[in-house]
Amino acid sequence: MNSEKRMFDEINQYQGNNATGGRFITRLSKIIEYFAIKFNTFFKELNESDETQLKSKISRVCDRFEKERREPLDFFTYNNHYDIVYNDKSIDEEEDDNVESIREETSTTTATTLITTKTETTDTITTDNSISKLSDILLCKIISNFVAFDNDKYERTSRHYKFKNLLFFIPYLIDGENVMNFALISKQLFRVVSKIINNNLFYWNSFIDINNQSEYNLIKSSPLYFDYESIKYIPYDQGIEYANQLLSRVETFVMESDEYDHSINGGVSRSEDIYIDYYVIRFIEEDYRSAIIKDGYLIRPPPMPNLKEIIVLGYHGFEENYSNFLKDLFVSTPNIDGHGIERFTIDMRKDWNSRPDYNNIDFLSSLLNYHSKTLKSILIINESFGMEDLDFLIDFLDEFIPTLKENNIDFKLTTNDPIDRLTQHIDNNSVIRYLSDNTIYNQRCLQKKFCFSMK
């Protein structure tokens, strides 16, 4: 206990800014590893002498962890700890290409991605009376729970709202701002973090060099996740071949529409991107508002041959440009030899003046024409679903219900108000019945989960 007391006394010396320094983080990591050694000994001894008591202890601690969380972590369990403590007995027998999944597949997120791990032990940690080495697989399990975005954290920032919205569709999304906090602690943690982000979805918003295989380069593979906001970081000056390579592994594409700014009365969301020294704010905002709905506003990204999931947020459809962008995306994505879009989700909006009168859905026909064989689900979220929206959706369903049924595509419409009030004038009973069976009314959930009005 004396050595443990001394460790905590050292931590107490770090206050304020000192608590974020490299020395503090390094020392804290060693203390964590020290207690991991002690926990391994405790777990093995009690597991062999009284397994029932051990499970009871872990269950009580787990209840404390989960009590205040909206969504359970399901991490502090007996089975998980057994795998961690006894991993040396099984991992050494695995092939070098042993894989470990660090996130589970859900119906609303991308297919499970595997993280390749190899048992490597470095950075020996010396305590008063023991020497131990932690494997990469153990650190992967630990750190993967911290680099993801904290869904329970409360912040009033635009970045936080954006991630909260994304997590509704992508439960496991790595927060790029958290990555470096762990990667710079030690060489081993740098290597572990690199494995995690190269094999899972992470939000990148800077230039990355996928051809740099240096041990000091964190990102060594093309990313699996691409947000349209990052299109400005595609280095076209390095040639189209490199640009294609950069997006060659992308499985999930996310796009948040700027159409919210087109008709808003207040300041635009991109005001921070305007260089005041070069433009008169009033004029540049006017030009920006009008440009949003023009064809030349959206840049087409390089092809994404492995694209499986598309998520569009804040779509209005004032004009054709966003719809045309999606059509081009469907065409450029291969639909043969196991390739093709599997999940499509779109959140539709109307502005403060209930415009546009209807949300343009022309792109849905192209989606089914090109990817009906691979599509598994279509989710349309429309808070302000009106009569004209219904008319256009009825026309679409009348043509494509046979395709949806033939390919077992899960079609869902989520709206705030029952559509019965809108369907009285519709004579197509089979389409109305199909739509009624596949409509979800979930107003409270939508109000809780989406914060685009606070953009």
Instruction: State residue 29 phi and psi, 5-degree precision.
Output: -65, -35
In the beta sheet, which residues pair with residue 126?
131
On the 0-12 / 13-18 / 19+ scale of CB atoms within 10 A, 109 is buried
On the 0-12 / 13-18 / 19+ scale of CB atoms within 10 A, 137 is buried
Tokens of 413: 């419409």
User: Chain-wide mean pLDDT for the chain?
Assistant: 76
Grade residue 54 by pLDDT with cuts at 50, 70 and 90: confident
Which pLDDT score, from 0 to 100, does residue 241 have?
A: 92
Peptide bond into 72 cis (omega under 30): no
Distance, CA of 227 to CA of 256 (rounded, Å):
8
Residue 149 has pLDDT above 90, yes or no: no
Distance, CA of 328 to CA of 255 (rounded, Å):
14
Residue 95 has pLDDT above 60, yes or no: no
Least confident of 16-20, 191-195, 239-243, 244-248: 16-20
Residues 6+ away with beta carbon under 8 Å from 258: 269, 270, 292, 297
Grade residue 234 by pLDDT with cuts at 50, 70 and 90: very high
Tokens of 280: 């008169």
Neighbours of 332 (CB within 10 A): 15
Distance, CA of 199 to CA of 2 (rounded, Å):
42
- Of residues 99 and 183, which shows the higher confidence score? 183
Which pLDDT score, from 0 to 100, does residue 155 have?
A: 56
Cβ(332)–Cβ(303) below 8 Å:
yes
Which pLDDT score, from 0 to 100, does residue 10 have?
A: 57
Q: Hey, is 152 helix, strand or coil?
A: coil
Cβ(235)–Cβ(292) below 8 Å:
no
Helices (H) and strands (E) in the chain, counts: 17, 11
- Segment 392-398 shows an average pLDDT of 93
Residue 116 has pLDDT above 70, yes or no: no
For the ranges 86-90, 134-138, 364-368, the one whose mean pLDDT is highest: 364-368
Question: Going by DSSP bridges, is the β-strand pair 377-382/343-348 parallel, antiparallel, or unpaired?
Answer: parallel
Cβ(350)–Cβ(384) below 8 Å:
yes
